[in-house]
Amino acid sequence: MKFLHALTQTAALLSLGLSVEGKFNRARNEACKPKHPFHPLPPSPPRKRTCHVPSNGDGTDDAHHVLSTLRKCNNGGKIVFDEDKEYTIGTAMDMTFLRHVDLEILGTIKFSNDTDYWQENSFRHGFQNATTFFQLGGVDVNVYGGGTLDGNGQVWYDLFHEEALTLRPILVGIIGLKGGTIGPLKLRYSPQWYQLVANSTDVLFDGIDISGYSSSENEAKNTDGWDTYRSSNIVIQNSVVNNGDDCVSFKPNSTDIIVQNMHCNGSHGISVGSLGQYKGEVDIVKNILVYNISMYNASDMARIKVWPGVASAMSEDLQGGGGLGAVSNITYDKMYIDNVDWAIEVTQCYGQKNQTLCNQFPSNLTISDVHIKNMWGTTSGKRDPNVGTIVCSSPDVCKDIHVSNIDVTSPSGTDDYICTNVDESLLDVNCSSG
């Protein structure tokens, strides 16, 4: 029922420009009808009792109120964070014990700015130094209400500028959730990624409003909207993201995922990866549909990023290469871009600036069965005369990349693509030598 209800919200979100302000749909002469999950989402029975979370109301830690109320109203209840209250969270909370429960967030939940405490006590998840303020998981958990989660990010943006190895917590940790819906919610000022979805299945995200920038000269970095990891049958839809990194990123072992009806601004695109970072580990990303997207003021729209077979360094806190695995059955369909550097970026040389070295040590992770189609708009001109780049480290590990019906130009009117080690007969674009 919740998924069917979520589909009815599409029209309202389209008015925000998610179908590209009308002209995108008129150009195709068809409506962008939302797609259904790869597998049906499980039902969520009605809740039978309601509990309200108390607040100290003075900025001191309310975590004990939250946990005690969750235990009191677990297994069939609804927990309400009242509209007129602000809840301060200064303690890492493990909420993976939840069963058949709703969290209705009407007020504001704000995390404390004690960076020393959080670096020592936030939950660590073993991938790219990811940590979270809390872990929310269990069976059949719904979180909604339109309230706000505030990560108090400014102190973290300034601290990260001083020390790049700072462990910055992710605002929302959906960890080991089996069935549930998240949204509508407002997410603000996350120290790092806004949401990590790990070891979870059958989860719908609907109506998430993400925004939060630095008020100092120190940028809010790595503020991905979503990162999925070891998760399957996830739907992300009807949401607005204003951030400074990937709008959505499919990390290792993300399968059967739909991202649709999204407005992304300021991001690094909707990305498969990065993958193949850890030598000896196997990363699988397959069955991904990205549909009806508006992308503004970004570095990329459709992006696939894979590490090469040689050790490489993207930055001081992001290094890797040599991992195994495969990317397959990836579709990007119906996209509008405005002021985006790369309309399409496919690379098996992520983190490696030496193209010769990348070709000498091709990626151990294969890319195949990729379809990128129906894209309109204008790039930023930053890469002029090129508007896209499709670069594989070897044709032996990269095949069946199809690109069609692309009407994207730079501000100067050019529409060239850098194409390396790919079958250009499958690319309905103007390939150049770069």
In 3D, which of 302, 306, 249 has the Cα closest to residue 276?
Answer: 306
Q: Is 402 a catalytic residue?
A: no
Alpha helices in 60-200 (DSSP H): 63-73, 115-121, 154-162
| Residue 339, C-beta contacts closer than 8 angstroms, at least 6 positions apart | 296, 297, 298, 378, 379, 380
- Specify burial of residue 60 (Cβ count, 10 A radius: 0-12, 13-18, 19+): exposed
Report how far residue 338's alpha carbon sits from residue 301's, in angstroms, rounded to the nearest whole number: 10
Catalytic residue (choose from 100, 125, 263, 268) = 268
CA angle 400, 401, 405 (to 5 degrees): 130
The beta strand positions in 10-118, using DSSP E, are 49-52, 77-81, 86-89, 93-105, 108-111
Amino acid at 147: G
Q: Phi, psi (5° rounding) for residue 322?
A: 100, 0
In 3D, which of 364, 322, 383, 371 has the Cα closest to residue 346?
Answer: 371
- Specify burial of residue 246 (Cβ count, 10 A radius: 0-12, 13-18, 19+): buried
Tokens of 158: 């300034």
DSSP of 270-311: EEEEEES-STT-EEEEEEEEEEEEEEEEEEEEEEEEE--SS-
Phi/psi-derived region of residue 351, left when phi > 0, alpha when psi is between -120 and 50, beta in every other case: left
DSSP of 175-193: EEEEEEEE-SEEEE--SS-
Taking CA atoms, 389 is separated from 59, 186, 260, 308, 359, in Å, by 49, 34, 24, 16, 16
Amino acid at 196: L
Catalytically active residues are 268
